[in-house]
Amino acid sequence: MGSKSSSLNKIPNAQELMQETGFSAAHILRLYERFEFLDVDQMGELRPEDFGAIRELSMNPIGDRIISAFFSPGKETVDFASFVRILAHFRSTETNRTRDGAQPEPANSRTRKLKFAFQLYDQDRDGKISREELLQVLRTMMEMQVTEEQLQSIAERAIQEADLDQDDAISFDEFRKSMEKVDIDHKMSIRFLS
Amino acid sequence: MPSRTGSHSPTGIGKSLPERGLLLLMVLVLLEGSVIPLGAASSPDTGHQKNVDNHKAEGEKNHTKKAFPVLDLDYRHIQTPFEISLWVLLASVMKLGFHMIPRLPGIVPESCLLITVGLLVGGLIKLAGEKVPPVLDSQLFFLCLLPPIILDAGYFLPIRPFMENLGTILMFAVVGTLWNAFFIGGLLYAVCQIQPANPNELHQLEILPCLLFGSIISAVDPVAVLAVFEEIHINELLHILVFGESLLNDAVTVVLYHLFEEYSAAGTVTVLDGFLGIISFLVVSLGGILVGAIYGILAAFTSRFTSHTRVIEPLFVFVYSYMAYLSAEMFHLSGIMALIACGAVMRPYVEANISHKSHTTIKYFLKMWSSVSETLIFIFLGVATVDGPHHWNWTFVTVTVILCLVSRVIGVVGLTCVINKFRIVKLTTKDQFIVAYGGMRGAIAFSLGFLLKKEEFPMREMFLTAIITVIFFTVFVQGMTIKPLVELLAVKKKQEAKRSINEEIHTQFLDHLLTGIEDICGHYGHHHWKDKLNRFNKKYVKKCLIAGERSKEPQLIAFYHKMEMKQAIDLVESGGGVNLPSAVPSTVSMQNIQPKKPPPAKPVEKALPKMTKGREEEIRQILRSNLQKTRQRLRSYNRHTLVADPYEDGFSELLIKKQKMIALEKKIKDMNYYLTVPAAPPDSPTMCRARLASGRGTDFKPAQQQRGNKISPDPQSYSSKPAMDRVPTIQVDLASPQSPDSVNLMDEFRRADQQEEDQGLTMKAPSGQSGFNRPGEADRGREQQKLTRCLSDPGPSADEEEEEEPFLP
């Protein structure tokens, strides 16, 4: 671990990050390498264009949403710490160390994962997925292959199924309820190979 | 896979008359089955036929000496098919019988009961002094009995969990089976050598036959696994693990079997042979998959052109799959893997191409054949047990059984330790236990043993005895106890399979999300490759293999469509109960069912004669009850086309109608339809007519528009009456199977928040102006109800009949 700890030194707040996110040193290192790779002008921060340079991401229908999720509202750049914090949502839940009640919920808990996904739908951050927002998501995912009324039908149906309090929008709790059968731990985790 | 067992009989302790009759029937069939085949001469080729009994001229019993044999009995003539049918009948009647016995199906798995029946039948035959037919003849087994089961499994294989766990499954299948084979074979050999008590026979056993035996006995059997796991309903992950393993280990078994069989004669296996064996394994498995995939693609391609001959669509599926199996077997490749690959590859494309009926046919035929096959296999196992020849050797048999268990447990535990390092969702100890415990052996092992030639393997009988004992042990002991154990250990059970549209949307969304995150991390993982495959599929493959418009249909639409269909079918089947779930006016289905050209009139005409009086009444009931609140008057609806046979191709219309009805009901509540709605621009009559003339016949005008309604002279369509006031009318538009007009529908919904023109059930209030008397239609009371639409432009259509015309375009 000697070389690792020395390389860790160049990463600001490495220890705190590890503590907060639960990543191991190896993971942090690898993420840092990736961060530096993306950061073409070596500013120590990433901008949307840097993300845009990833080719496969531009082909992804919800690529822009993912990119914008990294940037907190109002900020133009993302530093390494925020980068890691966002990615911490996707750690596998099994490797959680036991925590006491005082610690905040870890980033990769099921609720936090769902919250992250929810926020990708809910662009205007009002805590609800409105019909329009759902339609937008469907539109981008379907990539112009369906007609407008098909989308409307699907959106209508989805809202009807999920909307329990009849406010014509999906709140986070309703979202969570509709996903209770889905194995989120599996579906929203990636293996960060070190 | 859905359970093949029927529902439990509701009867209690006492046996009613029908059941006594059934019991009697069973007994008769049993007797008949065992006694009658005695009469005929044995048929020359034992390869094919089940019952090759030697003759006693059984026919002589029934001969009446007449000058001219008016009535003659010639059993030999029909012997073979008769006996086959008898066996099948026996199997089916047995199945029926078991579910009539109270409580028994819950305790004992069906496979055990069937083996017992087989034992009984074999015993009966033996008692009758006859030679038991070699029913588990390997030809018959591998060519006729096994393929339906595997095809059923492969066609309905849940691809997603299978692929997600492919690494684990392969590890268990390949490494696990290898481990089992060598462990059992090697230790058996060691035990045989050191066994002092029976120096004579066991010492003869060479290492290679031992290894051969090990390889035969080590493979987990898909038939047995299916039979047992179907009844215990464990969660999807475990099911797919054990089942997938049982399917994929066929390649290993084939290679090992041939390898050891070949070299048993030679006596030694060199390193080169081992190396060749590995290559052979790759060839066998990949070759099998390739053969299957080729046939699968052929089948998908063929199904693209079947739109005019729907009745033979299922045939293509079956024949191509069977040929895939036979072709693979021809090259000594793994037939099972070929069959699985064929079914899995062709399914998404074939399902997009074939009609709903064909889909149902395929499903039920497969289930039926595989069910009968499975039943027969177990019965034959019983019969073959009675047949022998057996050579019981306590040491050999008990050591085999113990070793099987031990090696399975060690294998699973060891492999899981390795596998868990690579899995996101780890396998717990409970999971491992179930996987180990679920490793059952079955008829494949027996048939493979049966295939051995006596000359080369003098210990063949001993092998067979041991194999049968292991099979009995796993099926009876493990099969019976696994259910209570699952309960005891509180293993997660299978969840309700209903997927909601939300789950589907969000799952796709998450897929994209994870792919994106993986790209950001620069990590080419699972999602990345899956995404790439999907893109490739969408871009190239679907275009070739799916007919017409469906090729562009995204998965979500297909799913949505399926859901709507299911819901509507349920609705109709339940008689359209009052509590209709709110559904969206869906026009999606229309476009997806029919090609873009105007639909033929045929489906409509077919629908017409099917409407009976009773049905009609039923429909009217439904309509009335559901629309009561809106105080609509059933003015007119096309009763002849309202409820067609839901499985008809024109079913989509029904779908839409029902949904519109429901949606309308909902929307009407919010609507203020006492008409203060501003007029909307009228539809031009020409447009209306044009639409009608094009055969779509939907007259789909928003109520707020002043309609210059045309009663179209076109008999194939019907128009709604123009409305002066805009009243919400529920239009039953049974006509249009496809309407891009539906596009407008939604727009109109949005625009007109006060009313809606629904194309769908038209229950129009009678117009004040034109007295349309619909014979037998619903009440016509409130002529003056604001719901009516008057002819704004009387025009030529004033006294023509309108939409009540029972026509669907």
**pLDDT above 60: residue B686:** no
pLDDT tens for each residue of B333-360: 889 999 999 999 998 888 888 888 888 8
What per-residue confidence (pLDDT) applies to B122? 86
**pLDDT above 90: residue B364:** yes
Whether residue A56 lies within 8 A of chain B, CB to CB, comes out as yes
**CA contacts within 13 A on the Cβ side of B213:** 32
When computed from its CA atoms, the radius of gyration of chain B, rounded to whole angstroms, is: 33
The residue with tokens 């030697």 is B54
Nearest-CB residue to B584 (from A137, A145, A156): A156
Superfamily (CATH) of domain A106-186: EF-hand (1.10.238.10)
Rounded to the nearest angstrom, the gap between the alpha carbon of residue B607 and the centroid of all alpha carbons in its chain is 28
Pairwise pLDDT comparison (B129 vs B593), residue with the higher score? B129
> Cβ–Cβ contacts within 10 Å for residue B489, how many?
13
What per-residue confidence (pLDDT) applies to B500? 76
Contact in structure between B75 and B432 (CB atoms under 8 Å): no
Whether residue A81 lies within 8 A of chain B, CB to CB, comes out as no
Q: Which residues of B touch A193 (CB under 8 A)?
A: 523
Q: How many CB pairs under 8 A join A and B?
A: 158
**pLDDT above 90: residue B803:** no
pLDDT tens for each residue of B29-81: 666 655 555 443 333 333 333 443 433 444 445 555 667 878 888 888 888 88
pLDDT tens for each residue of B201-225: 666 777 888 888 999 998 888 988 8
What separation in angstroms does the CA of B760 have from each of B572, B660, B772?
16, 6, 19
Q: CA-nearest residue of chain B to A185?
A: B425
By three-state DSSP, how is residue A130 classified? strand
Q: Which residues of B touch A187 (CB under 8 A)?
A: 507, 510-511, 514
For residue A39, name the pLDDT band (cuts at 50, 70, 90): confident
DSSP 8-state symbol, B203: G
**pLDDT above 50: residue B464:** yes
Contact in structure between B750 and B735 (CB atoms under 8 Å): no
Residue of A153, A164, A180, A189 best to disrupt the B interface, most CBs of B under 10 A:
A153
pLDDT tens for each residue of B596-606: 444 344 443 34
Q: What is the DSSP string of B431-489?
A: HHHHHHHT----HHHHHHHHHS-TTT-TTHHHHHHHHHHHHHIIIIIIHHHHHHHHHHH
Least confident stretch, A128-142, B18-32, B173-187, B539-553: B18-32
**pLDDT above 90: residue B412:** yes
Whether residue A107 lies within 8 A of chain B, CB to CB, comes out as no
**pLDDT above 60: residue B623:** yes
Cα(A61)–Cα(A43) distance, integer angstroms: 28
**pLDDT above 70: residue B127:** yes
**pLDDT above 90: residue B410:** yes
Q: What is the average pLDDT across B717-724?
A: 42
**pLDDT above 90: residue B319:** yes
pLDDT tens for each residue of B88-120: 898 888 888 888 888 777 778 888 888 888 888
Nearest-CB residue to A181 (from B495, B511, B514): B495
Q: What is the average pLDDT across B527-534?
A: 81
Q: Which residues of A touch B534 (CB under 8 A)?
A: none
B158: tokens are 């849940």
What per-residue confidence (pLDDT) applies to B455? 77
Q: What is the DSSP string of B258-303?
A: HHHHHHHHH----HHHHHHHHHHHHHHHHHHHHHHHHHHHHHHHHH
Pairwise pLDDT comparison (B617 vs B566), residue with the higher score? B566
Percent of chain A with pLDDT over 70: 86
Cα(B744)–Cα(B751) distance, integer angstroms: 10
Domain ranges of chain A: 12-89, 106-186
What per-residue confidence (pLDDT) applies to B638? 43
Q: Which residues, at least 6 apart from B705, have a Cβ–Cβ distance to it below 8 Å?
A: B679, B680, B681, B682, B683, B726, B757
Q: What is the average pLDDT across B4-22?
A: 51
Please name which of B705, B503, B680, B716 lies closest in space to residue B602, comparing C-alpha atoms.
B716
What per-residue confidence (pLDDT) applies to A61? 82
pLDDT tens for each residue of B256-314: 888 888 877 776 777 888 888 889 888 988 999 999 999 999 999 888 888 888 888 89
What per-residue confidence (pLDDT) applies to B655? 61
What per-residue confidence (pLDDT) applies to A27? 81
Residues 129-188 of A with CB under 8 A from B: 134, 137-138, 141-143, 145-150, 152-154, 156-158, 160-162, 175, 178-179, 181-183, 185-188
pLDDT tens for each residue of B640-664: 444 434 444 445 565 667 677 777 7
DSSP 8-state symbol, A45: E
State the ipTM, two decimals.
Answer: 0.90
Nearest-CB residue to B745 (from A120, A149, A178): A149
What per-residue confidence (pLDDT) applies to B719? 40
What per-residue confidence (pLDDT) applies to B30? 61
What per-residue confidence (pLDDT) applies to B761? 43
Class of domain A12-89: mainly alpha
**Cβ–Cβ of B513/A120 closer than 8 Å?**
yes
Cα(B453)–Cα(B457) distance, integer angstroms: 6
B444: tokens are 């494949």
Q: What is the average pLDDT across A71-90?
A: 81
